[in-house]
Every structure is written in structure tokens, then in C-alpha cells.
Structure 1
């Protein structure tokens, strides 16, 4: 399991933003010899969508940091990171954490700063959509509303020689946990780190059906945006 977190703390905003970008780079760096698809017809890297999930989780962490410090510049960074990635949305509620949503938050945080507002307007341009992504078709995204202490479970099919990454991004009101079990119920990964964006990564899973459990540990309901490749 890979597990990286940005922790709140005092310091220069520019340094924290630079650290967030470096953190994203560690999530999405391609292994030696891999190929990243940048257009149709080119070879597809099997791990590309797993790296996309890592970048989305990092963007959520940067957005949290920006909200805590009312930092419009950091929120713009989070929006740009999220805007690079396509999603394959499943039935249910629409994703609540998107590049467009973070842009609106950046606009609110900007107040009357003309430079930030102009950059928000440029990013809101209809020509800024994801036209060619290094992350392939993008991860599968489903949104569920979990009652207090409710567990939502589903199965995924692990494929040989492909990284499996699953993440759950809560709306911030409660602690969200994540567990992956094999067909016999053995825990292969557990992220119970008492935050609202747990991540599980299986680098060399055995092929077969795995069960994913997303748990709302809090006392109130929460929306959860679940990502898997």
C-alpha cells in the first residue's frame, strides 16, 4: 500500500505548493520502460489510470490545504491537477469534487484580486477541456451517500501485472476508511488513517475478484467519491 499525506503546518505558501506538485510527481511518475499514451492509437500504459487516481487524491489534499488557509493560488493548483484527468462516471450522483468546482472555490477565495480572477477566467475557458490525457480514458468514478457508520462494498477484478489502486474521497465531514479483501476475506490493504481520503494500492495483485469496503466512521452521513482503475 502506498500512503502519502500532506499535513497542515505553518510555513511559506509557495513552498507548500511546490511540495504538493512534487508529491503529485511521485504518484504519477512512470516506471522505467513504460509507455504513456498521449493520443489515440499509441500504446496504453496499464498503470496510467492508477497514477491518475494518485493525482486526484493529491489534488484533494491540496484543495483542503487551500481551504484551511483561504489560499486562492493553491486552489488554482488543485484545480489544474484535477483538470488534467478524464473520469468515467458511473450511475448515481455526479462527482462533487471536480476541476470546475475547485475553480469556483478559487474565485471565491480570490475576492478582488485581479490577477487570480483573470487566471480563473482563463481556466474556465471552454477550450481548456481535457483533449489529450497522459492518463488514458481515466479512472472509474462512482459517488455514494453513506449514512453514519455505514459500509458500502463492491467487487473489482484484479488483473495480472497491473497495479490496482482504489481511493475514496469524502466530503470532509467524517472519517472515511478503506479496505480491500481477497475472495477468502483476507485483508490485503487497509487505510484507516483517520482522514477522509483513504488510498489502497496493490502493486502485484493475484488475478481474481477482490472486495472493496468503504466505511463512514463518523456520526453523520457523507458523500464519498470512489475511484478505481
Structure 2
């Protein structure tokens, strides 16, 4: 099963459109299904982490919409959405889709508007950003650089009947595709939409290895921020 966050559509006021897509994402709930195997009593909740991935992808879509229109208010909304979420870093490059990075972009779009700059400054304050995340420990974040037409793949161990959600957010320069394969090589989920933030959700996987493949379909290299619970 593939679950995609909603798209911002034209015709609405900029901030209203961004808020509409943000509210719809926050209201999403995860279906029961599979995750990476973990041990210990403090293992994160895969359902909550899956919801966090959905919200991060929606934030990426709001940010892309704001970037096209150079809309500071919408970019602040996207930053706030990321500010709700705690993530767990793996090795690799620094994440490029973060609360602070989007606030820096919003500042460039503010065109010296003092009210907007004050709002951005408040969002940057130490008691803003990730405080008490509603999403548990948060999803795993891995950043990789993919050459043109390159495929990056890795394997996770799925736990039966727990949600498994994977997203691959590119930096916007190329089309990024995503596929999940079972241990026999059969595709169990794919997102080949012509965008740079594909998402896959496997509702009820069998226990065992799942191969995750991220493909850069473009003619230039791209950073990709990979999220999985």
C-alpha cells in the first residue's frame, strides 16, 4: 500500500493553503503494520514514528510550495511542522530538511517585513523547535548523495503486523523513486510519482527482511533524506 500526503492546490490564500495541508497531515493516523526490529523496553512506537514520517513528508511538500512562491508565511508553517518531530540520526551527511534550515529560507522570503522577521526570530528561540515530541522517539534519518540514475538500497528487518513507513525526500533537483521488495525480490510497495518525496507504507508485512531501493531518476546528483521507522 502506498500512502501519499495531500498536495497543496491553487486558488487558496498562501497561508491558508499551507495550513490546510498541515492540518490534514497532523490528523493522519497510522495503520497497524511492520517496522525495524528493536530490542529493549524503551523501543520506539512504530505507529507513532510512521505518523511522524507522514508529517515530515507533508512539511517537505509545504516547503516546496512555499519555495515556488517565495512565501515566508507558508515556509514558517513547514518549519513548525518539522519542529514537532524528534529524529534519530544515522551516519552520513547532515539533514537538509530541518526546522532551522526552513526558517533560514523563510527569512530570505520575508523581504525585510519586520512582523515576519520577528515571528521567525521567536521560532528560532531555544524553547522552540523539538520540545516534547508527540511522535515518541521519532523516525530514523539517513542522508545520502545519489549520482544521476543511481540506486541506493539497504535492508531492514520487518516485524509482522506493525506499520512500516519509508520516505525518501530529495533536495528538489531531480525525480526520486522508491520501492520496497520482499526477500524473494517481489515489489510490495512502490512510489514512482514524478516528484522528489516518494512514500511507501506496508500495512501488514510478513516478518523478515525488506529491501528498500531509492532511485535518482534525474540527470544530476541529489541529496536524499531517507526516513524509516
What TM-score do the two structures reach when normalised by structure 1?
0.90
Matches within 5 A, 1:185-196: 185-196=185-196
Structure 2: gaps (5+ residues):
33-40
Q: Alpha-carbon deviations, 1:31-64, whole Å to 9, x = none?
A: 79xxxxxxxx999643000000000000000000
Aligned CA RMSD, in angstroms, stands at 2.0
Alignment partner, residue 95 of structure 2:
95
Secondary structure of 2:130 counterpart? coil
Distance 1:31 1:7 in 2: 24
Alignment partner, residue 132 of structure 1:
132
Structure 1: gaps (5+ residues):
33-40
Alignment partner, residue 24 of structure 2:
23
Distance 1:7 1:130 in 2: 25
Distance 1:52 1:171 in 2: 19
Call closer, same or farther: CA 1:138–1:44 in 2, change over 3 Å: closer
Q: Is the 8 A contact 2:169 2:196 kept in 1?
A: yes
Matches within 5 A, 1:25-174: 25-27=26-28, 29=29, 45-174=45-174
Shift of 1:130: 2.0
Secondary structure of 1:19 counterpart? helix
What TM-score do the two structures reach when normalised by structure 2?
0.90
Q: Is the 8 A contact 2:89 2:141 kept in 1?
A: yes
Distance 1:130 1:51 in 2: 16
Q: Alpha-carbon deviations, 1:181-228, whole Å to 9, x = none?
A: 000001000100010000000111111100000000001100000000
User: Is 1:208 the equivalent of 2:208?
Assistant: yes
Alignment partner, residue 183 of structure 1:
183
Call closer, same or farther: CA 1:129–1:17 in 2, change over 3 Å: closer
Task: Count how many residue pairs are aligned between Structure 1 and Structure 2.
Answer: 220
Q: Is the 8 A contact 1:23 1:58 kept in 2?
A: no
Distance 2:30 2:153 in 1: 30
Secondary structure of 1:47 counterpart? helix
Q: Is the 8 A contact 1:165 1:201 kept in 2?
A: yes
Call closer, same or farther: CA 1:49–1:118 in 2, change over 3 Å: same
Distance 2:114 2:131 in 1: 28
Q: Is the 8 A contact 1:160 1:206 kept in 2?
A: yes
Secondary structure of 1:143 counterpart? strand
Q: Is the 8 A contact 1:8 1:65 kept in 2?
A: no
Secondary structure of 2:46 counterpart? coil
Q: Alpha-carbon deviations, 1:98-136, whole Å to 9, x = none?
A: 000000011111111111111111111112242311111
Shift of 1:17: 1.9
Secondary structure of 1:226 counterpart? strand
Call closer, same or farther: CA 1:30–1:206 in 2, change over 3 Å: closer
